[in-house]
Structure 1
Amino acid sequence: MLVSMAGNQQTRPAIGELAKDTATGRIGVVMGGVGGRVQIGSVGGGMEWDAQPGNVVAPGAREELSARLAIRNGNSRDAL
């Protein structure tokens, strides 16, 4: 589900969805928001980072596929 940004036609991913931080080019999962920033968790695990809401967008189709493959590959390694 994409969340509408107030006063703007753009949308940004909701909690639990993949997102791209356009300021850094990184892709992650939206974890929440604190202090006017969006918290994004790394796809492969590790540290979350804060992003400005205006820099958080849905990833492109290729970016999303790549991130989903990385998640799946990580899950399959954990099962070994």
Structure 2
Amino acid sequence: MNSEIPLCGSFAVDTRDGRIGVVMDTMDGVVQLRPPQGGREWDVPYDVVRTASRDERIKGRVAELNWQSRRLQ
């Protein structure tokens, strides 16, 4: 089992498919991730989620900022 569960609000990676998401909640053995550009959350078991690397955090933040920019137009 993964001993380092990412904190709420941080970026994490679902290692099953490589998707990057923002940690929305942790409960009952799963981490709920939301795509950085918004959308439906998905559940990831603790043992297949990891904290995003620096490059992955940057990629996620850029996607999040682009999404927010489009919403304001």
TM-score, normalised to structure 2, is 0.85
Match in the other structure for 1:18: 11
Match in the other structure for 1:79: 72
What is the identity, as a one-letter code, of the residue corresponding to 2:37? G
- Residue 47 of structure 1 is aligned with which of 40, 43, 46? 40
1:27-38 correspondence to structure 2 within 5 Å: 27-38=20-31
Work out the number of aligned pairs and report it. Answer: 73
3-state SS of the aligned residue for 1:12? coil
Report the Cα distance in structure 2 between the residues aligned to 1:52 and 1:9, rounded to whole angstroms: 9
Name structure 2 gaps, 5 residues minimum: none
- The alignment-based identity, stated in percent, is 37
3-state SS of the aligned residue for 1:43? coil
* Residue 54 of structure 2 corresponds to residue 61 of structure 1: yes
Give the CA deviation at 1:10: 4.2
Runs of 4+ deviating beyond 3 Å = none
Structure showing greater relative contact order (alpha-carbon pairs closer than 8 Å, 6 or more residues apart): 2
TM-score, normalised to structure 1, is 0.79
Rg larger in structure: 1
Give the CA deviation at 1:72: 0.7
